[in-house]
Amino acid sequence: MSQAPIFSAKPLFAKGFTERCAAASPAFGRAAYSTFRLTIGRRAAHAPAMDDRLDIVFAALADPTRRAILAMLLEDDMAVTDVATPFEMSLAAISKHLVILTRAGLISQEKRGRVKWCKLEPDALRDASVWMQGFGQFDPVDLDAFERFLRIELDDGAAAQHASDDACREGL
């Protein structure tokens, strides 16, 4: 007597990655897959659009390890082994983070002799900075002035309501 398997991985691999993602979430279609491919480092057939580049930069900045690496590179260029020293992870793991930062354009890497050096590329953040500045164009709210305004408006509104009520009573 043969038993049916409890779990089969076959249906998971019957479709391609894009089809599985599209089935799981309608919003995750071919365009999102293209951005995902760029984020993890595969080369796209076309130059990424502005939104795609922003997605890649923000995806790279989303990880605290990568932000710490960028902060270290603010001071000076560093060898890959020096970048890896403060972190409790393997050199291979740090290299993966560096590849993501390089593909996002946030750092560049060059080989000097036998040592691979990392350099911060501050211009890569320009598009992200311009995009974020759009959210900073509003004046900060003075809550005390807003509270005074509301108090005056509510008092005036209450006084007008009482005057209206009094006029209605006199009219009856």
Give the closest residue to 86 by CA, choosing from 97, 61, 151, 7. 97
Residuewise pLDDT in 10s, the chain (172 residues) = 555 545 444 444 444 444 544 544 444 444 444 444 444 444 444 455 667 888 999 999 999 999 999 999 999 999 999 999 999 999 999 999 999 999 999 999 999 999 999 999 988 888 888 888 877 766 666 778 878 888 888 887 666 666 666 666 666 5
Are 109 and 116 a contacting pair, CB within 8 Å? Answer: yes
The structural domains of the chain, with segments of one domain joined by +, span: 10-46, 48-137, 139-172
Query: Is 121 strand, coil or helix?
Result: coil
The architecture (CATH level 2) of 48-137 comes to Orthogonal Bundle (1.10)
Q: Return the SS3 of 4.
A: coil
- Give the dihedral of Cα atoms 70, 71, 74, 76; nearest 10 deg: -90
